[in-house]
Structure 1
Amino acid sequence: MTTTSAVTNASNTSALSSANNASSAQSIENQFLKLLTTQLQNQDPSSPMDNMQLTSQLAQISTVEGITNLNTTLQSISSQMGLSQSIDATSFIGKSVLVQGNSILLGTDSTTGSTVTTPFGINLTGAASNVQVKITNASGAVVNTVNLGSMSAGIYSYDWDGKSSTGTAATNGSYSFTVTATDANGNAVTVNPLTFGQVGSVAYTSGGPVLNLGTAGTTSLSGVYKVFSTTDDSASI
């Protein structure tokens, strides 16, 4: 119900804006024509307005009207794009996504009793010869280090097995990770950590739709780096 209402309100706002712009353009045209008529009625008979002056003034009102109509058209297109984006945002509800962040959750599957973790991801801006991920616990201690080797630029997602560097099972809870990457010359390559979230709802703001991701926070549509084809089982831990 909330989504339908929000989309309807956006549509009504667009229609009202277009109507106001049309009214404004008509008002400008009426004022100009009234002024021109008054000017013609009160002109000096010995020195009447020549055709060049009349043509020039008519061209001016035509230009003003054209610009106003163009602005109205552009605003209408912008409103329609915003409405389309708002409608598209609802398709994310229930989906799992990767957004900027560096958290991993470790838990136990309530059905199978097996260890599960939320996926994590990286956004590598350039080719790297060595990519390394360090997973730390709430105290800041390094639990495991994952060497991903050489990689091309791109967005990748991974699943931690929930084990420490010694092979023992880590304690259930919240973890964080950092990523470092270097090229063949040892120079740092920019890489951003990505965290997992499940879209529970969509909020409509003046800046556009915002996806609510529960413990992962919120993000705009442009902040989504990857959408999983199906809801990941780890979303329930």
Structure 2
Amino acid sequence: MAVSSVTSNAGTAALQSSSTATDPSERFLKLLVAQMQNQDPLNPMDNAQVTSQMAQIQTVTGIDKLNTTVAGLNSQFVQMQALQGASLVGRDVIVPGNLMDIDNGVGQGGFELTSAADSVKVEILSASGQVVDTLDLGAQSAGLHSFDWAAGSATNDTGLRFRVTSRLGSVNTTATALMRDSVSAVSTTGTGFSLELSRGGSVGYTDVKAFN
């Protein structure tokens, strides 16, 4: 009974000590030492078991160092992205959105088709959502497309938007509205960076379809 009590206390102390260690390899080593100190004298660990345990320590240490290295590389990559993104300030980008871009009486917009369509229609909408004009663009291939619209006296402050619909035969196909906007600032997050647009708010860098 006395031997059992000492063994239990020693194992508990080792476990408590290992729980306070921050290095995974250090925790592993303390547990291995405790295991060897409290092994059954009639059935001790053989050399193969000890070697296996030590190999596991090396593996844990290597994984821990690899995780630290990857985290550092990821941080550097995000910083490099942010530096590259800073060069976009003041430039125009094409992003998902349906705000008309009007300049000198000409409104422009775009769309992306995931598949070919034999009928594409663009509806110009007022700020309140009323249809003010319709453009029939006919058949279009899959990919990125743009269109022009005679805006008259309208400006960007008018708040005009547009809606794109596409069909292939009698089936509706997917059409994503695209708008042009200018980059006013760049903001970083833990995993990447976002572009702050003059009119469209914040968008992820990966959402950008094209640069002007």
Query: Which TM bucket (shorter chain)?
Result: 0.7 to 0.9
1:156 deviation in Å? 1.6
Q: Could you tell me which residue of structure 2 aligns to residue 57 of structure 1?
A: 53
Q: Number of aligned residue pairs: give it.
A: 190
Partner of 1:189: 173
What's the offset of the Cα at 1:203?
A: 1.6
CA-based RMSD of the aligned residues comes to 2.6
TM-score, normalisation: structure 2? 0.76
* Deviations, residues 166-225 of structure 1 (Å, cap 9, x unaligned): xxx354422111111011x22111001111210011122345312111222121101111
Aligned residue number for residue 69 of structure 2: 73
- Of all paired residues, the percent bearing the same amino acid is 39
2:142 is matched with which residue: 153, 157, 160? Answer: 153
Residue in structure 2 matched with residue 227 of structure 1 by the alignment? 211
**Structure 1 pair 200–45 and aligned structure 2 pair: CA distance change class (3 A):** same
Structure 1 length normalisation: TM-score? 0.69
Structure 1 unaligned residues grouped into runs of 5+: 1-22, 109-114, 163-168, 229-237
User: How far, CA to CA, are the matches of 1:182 and 1:47 in structure 2?
Assistant: 77
Contact 2:101 2:179 in 1 (8 A): no
Q: In structure 1, the residue corresponding to 2:48 is in which secondary structure? A: helix
Distance 1:181 1:43, change over 3 A: closer
**Which 4+ stretches in 1 moved above 6 angstroms?**
41-46
Which runs of 5 or more structure 2 residues have no equivalent in the other structure? 1-20
- Offset at 1:28? 3.2
Tell me whether 1:177 sits opposite 2:162 in the alignment: yes
The Cα shift of 1:122 comes to 0.2
Measured after TM superposition, the shift of residue 133 of structure 1 is 0.6
User: Comparing 139-148 with 41-50, which one deviates more in the overlay?
Assistant: 41-50
- Which deviates more from structure 2 when the two are superposed, residues 185-194 or residues 135-144? 135-144
Q: Which moved more, 1:204-213 or 1:45-54?
A: 45-54
- Match of 2:202? 218
Q: Secondary structure at the residue paired with 2:127? A: coil
CA distance in 2, matches of 1:33, 1:216: 55
